Homo-oligomer: A and B are copies of this chain.
Amino acid sequence: MKNGLFETGRLEAFSDGVFAIIITIMVIEFHLPDGTHFSDLLPLVPKFLAYLLSFLYIAIYWNNHHHLLKAANGVNGGIMWANMGLLFCATLIPFGTAWVGENYQAVAPTAFYGIILMLNAVAYYILQNRILATMSKKSPFAKSIGADYKGKLSPILYFIGIVLAFISPLVAELVLVGVAIMWIVPDRRVERALYG
């Protein structure tokens, strides 16, 4: 340990476990269809799409988390608790997914799903700041974060999505899909700053 920080290994392993379980546990919500025809699968389509979207979000968070902790010099108490905050928000995703998956045309489930995603973004932002606080502001990672337009844009887009849910849940859901797509498109600049 140097500078009051200890290594990231076990925090990463624990977080990996929680992300892996969240991503898999959502499937338990798929109750078997009543019949045995392909058409009996149709009512499950919205639930499936909600699961797909949440899977993408967890995958994005896992990936960003991976990069973030790789860049970190180490872990202190503040980083540990900020990480727990992110994991807590992430564990709310299956519940939000199940609710919106069953009621994708309803206002509250859609807005609530947007709120959960926003909470995750805020928790991630806090974790990122806790890690940046242990770094020099001139480090390549700190600079790449400074130019992090996605991180700054996402909460605004989530907010727009939440507000839109009260007008048209479907349009709101498209916005939330859009944010996921924005994140999946690779952020070459960060990777370059990190790995050269």
What residues make up the interface of A, taking CB atoms closer than 8 Å to B?
1, 4, 6, 10, 12-14, 16-25, 27-28, 30, 32-33, 36-38, 40-41, 52, 55, 59, 62-63, 66, 70, 77, 80-81, 84, 87-88, 91-92, 94-95, 98-99, 102-103, 106-109, 111-112, 184, 186, 191, 195-196
What number of copies of this chain does the assembly contain?
Answer: 4
A87 to B62, CA, bound (A): 13
A188 to B102, CA, bound (A): 47
Write out the residue numbers on chain B whose beta carbons fall within 8 Å of the beta carbon of A63. 80
Closest to A26 in B: B91
- Contacts A21-B21, A108-B37; A6 near B70 (Cβ below 8 A): yes
Structural contact, B22 and A24, CB atoms closer than 8 A: yes
Distance to closest chain B CB from A180 (angstroms):
12
